[in-house]
Amino acid sequence: MVDIELARKTFSRYDVNGDGLISAVEYKSVMAQLGDPYVTETVAQAVINAHDSDGDGKLTFDEFWASRNKG
C-alpha cells in the first residue's frame, strides 16, 4: 500500500496549477520535466482516462489515490 502523504506530495507535483485536478497538459508537462519528453497530450489523456472514475477527463486526488492502491 502506498503512503498517503507521499501520494499527496506526488499528486501536488502533477497538479501544476493547484486546482485539485490533474489535466493531460499538466501530466505531459511533469513527465517532460521528469525526463520523458515522449509523453504526448494524447498519451497523457489516455493514462488519465484509465483512472478517471467520473469521466471528466481529469484526475482528482481520490482517483489518483485509488489508482495507486489497486491490488
- CA dist 49 to 1, 18, 35, Å? 22, 20, 22
Q: Which pLDDT score, from 0 to 100, does residue 31 have?
A: 97
Task: Map out the domains of the chain as residue ranges.
Answer: 4-68
Q: Which three cell numbers stand for residue 35?
A: 525526463
* Predicted structure pTM score: 0.91
Q: Mean pLDDT, the chain, as a whole number?
A: 94
Angle value at C-alpha 28, between 59 and 57, nearest 5 degrees? 30
CA 44, CA 20: separation in Å to the nearest integer?
A: 17
Q: Residue 66's pLDDT is what?
A: 93
Q: Please give the pLDDT value at position 2.
A: 61
Q: Mind listing the pLDDT tens digit for each residue in 32-60? A: 999 999 999 999 999 999 999 999 999 99
pLDDT at 67 over 70: yes
Residue pair 41/25 in contact (Cβ under 8 Å)? The answer is: yes
Domain 4-68 architecture: Orthogonal Bundle (1.10)
